[in-house]
Structure 1
Amino acid sequence: MRADGNPCRAGPAWHGRELLVGVRARTVEVPADRGRHVATLARSFGEGETAGSPVSPTPALVARPRALGESTIRRDVPDGPAGAIDRCGKADGGRAPRVLGRVAGVAGFGAACEAGERVFAGGRVPDEASCDILARRIAAGGKEGAAGPDPSACDGFLGRGAA
């Protein structure tokens, strides 16, 4: 795509779609086709580095649940959660990327992917509550023998029978 006469990376998920890009004094805002916020990136003048966040295409994946295979973040998502999202039905295939996108904004992309993988391994589709708590725990790097209660005792609640 081109913004203000400069080429920008949008990725294959946006192929054939017209994007409206808001160029501001210090930022560039990219909304989805229905006006949902996709990303706000720092504006670069002249020849700058291509900016991209692995979480930024998430609204496109929610709008087109089967688009993960052609998304720019497909190679960044571990095979476990990506394969599980591919096997989900239409409703869950849209819900899982939305949950992982929200959790990634709080705990980081890697922790969100690992949390999603653990929830999928338990036979469930990630929900915001369990994924958020688990991703925060992963991001905090809970160490063996640390003071306080052992949160791994709650891991059994991630299985199919819990909820």
Structure 2
Amino acid sequence: MTRIIDYGNLMHRAMRGLIQDVLNDVAKNGLPGEHHFFITFDTMHPDVEIADWLSDRYPDEMTVVMQHWFDNLEVTNEGFSVTLNFGDSPEPLYIPYDAIRTFVDPSVEFGLRFETQDDDDDETAEIETASKLETKEDTGAAEIVSLDSFRK
């Protein structure tokens, strides 16, 4: 049997660890400066915990924003929980890292995108560094560096 180094899975774990480290820092010290996060996640992931009305409204994926108001941020090795405000209604959420599809901090033009490959079970992490990231206010294009570009 030939052994290979699975760079895709190693990168996947490293990028999830980066998100955990960032959220741990925010839980301890708050959001610094203009930093804020757009986090898109799979609402059908078996370990996601959101209100029924949110999963009914967002049956595939949902993007939440952590910026001006969030409460009860707790970070674990598997995921994080946070209370966010939806139309003046605070709702607790639990999001495992494996459910995250994108993590973007537009204040510093940084983002991560996790994509599942249909032709194999490995997930690929892509790192976005761009002059403009697409947000609700901005429709600029992002430069994507894909791990696939380094594979043969």
TM superposition score normalised by structure 1: 0.27
Higher relative contact order, chain-length normalized (CA < 8 Å, sep 6+): 2
TM superposition score normalised by structure 2: 0.28
Q: Of Structure 1 and Structure 2, which has the larger fraction of its residues in strand?
A: 2
Q: Of Structure 1 and Structure 2, which has the larger fraction of its residues in helix?
A: 1
**Greater Rg by CA:** 1
